[in-house]
């Protein structure tokens, strides 16, 4: 079988997307890993398939896979790319649409190459966790923005120990059994932060992580009293924007916006 696919990226977070409305494509974990392999496959942080929404709760639905072959509940940058992908392959004419994910229904607004998505309400907020790491005691914050995230504030994100502390926190007993994504956050100035993310399922640093950017912005708003919006510079050098409505320590409306770009279209034998 030959799979027609599109390669996209959202602020450097890259994805393979394909149309599976007919339900003819079934991807095994081994096949997902091969397709995402940057030497032997297409290369991507994840794979997204377009499905019809059988529940009737949204316009469309997706199937999302991490590059290690596992399923993921949500991906912020993937969601923004997926919205533009729907517009291209289905001829969707409106500038708003919705799609169902394992984390709930996501709504998107399209403005040319920029896409804003309304994320599902964050859950499982835990502030000021005192953890013992290989480097010593550390204060870590946690929140679920569709998938779980840990946030660690650092003085200099460029010097953050992402490759060592990232996997250590990702598998820390505090976040057992499935682990967490890990964000290293540097406060630049009021309303602006710099974020590097070690992604669960990719098992390494990515150039951007939409749910990680969102988690970092919300935690910073709580810890440093930032107002909406918060602008976030990611490892690719791009900037994403997080808007929210805050009520005490909770958030009613959370929106992530930024670029979502087509890279190329291709075919690969499965």
Placement of tokens 């550390």 in the chain = 138
* Catalytic annotation, residues: 75, 209
Calpha distance 34→59 (Å, rounded): 30
Please count the residues of the chain.
Answer: 270
**Phi and psi, residue 142, nearest 5°:** -135, 145
| 51/23 Cα distance (integer angstroms) | 7
The answer to whether the peptide bond before residue 166 is cis (omega within 30 degrees of 0) is: no
Query: In angstroms, rounded to a whole number, what is the distance separating the alpha carbons of residues 195 and 203?
Result: 17
C-beta pairs of 187-190 under 8 Å, 24+ apart in sequence: 187/153, 187/220, 187/224, 188/233, 190/226
């Amino acid at each position: 079988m030959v799979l027609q696919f599109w390669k996209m990226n959202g602020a450097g977070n890259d994805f393979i997307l394909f149309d599976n409305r007919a339900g003819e494509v079934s991807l095994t974990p081994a096949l997902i890993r091969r397709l995402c392999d940057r030497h032997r496959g297409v290369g991507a942080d994840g794979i997204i398939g377009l499905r019809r929404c059988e529940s009737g709760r949204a316009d469309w639905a997706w199937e999302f896979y991490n590059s290690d072959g596992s399923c993921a509940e949500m991906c912020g940058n993937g969601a923004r790319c997926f919205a533009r992908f729907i517009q291209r392959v289905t001829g969707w004419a409106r500038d708003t649409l919705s799609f169902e994910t394992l984390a709930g229904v996501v709504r998107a607004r399209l403005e040319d190459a920029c896409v804003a998505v309304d994320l599902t309400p964050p859950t499982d907020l835990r502030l000021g966790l005192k953890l013992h790491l290989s480097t010593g005691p550390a204060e870590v914050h946690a929140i679920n923005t569709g998938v779980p995230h840990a946030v660690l504030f650092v003085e200099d994100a460029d010097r953050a120990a992402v490759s060592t502390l990232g996997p250590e926190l990702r598998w820390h007993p505090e976040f057992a059994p499935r682990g967490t994504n890990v964000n290293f956050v540097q406060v630049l100035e009021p309303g602006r932060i710099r974020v590097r993310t070690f992604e669960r399922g990719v098992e390494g640093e990515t150039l951007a992580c939409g749910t990680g950017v969102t988690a970092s912005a919300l935690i910073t708003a709580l810890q440093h009293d930032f107002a909406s919006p918060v602008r976030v510079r990611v490892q690719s050098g791009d900037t994403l924007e997080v808007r929210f409505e805050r009520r005490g320590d909770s958030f009613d409306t959370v929106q992530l916006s930024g670029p979502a770009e087509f890279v190329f279209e291709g075919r690969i034998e499965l």
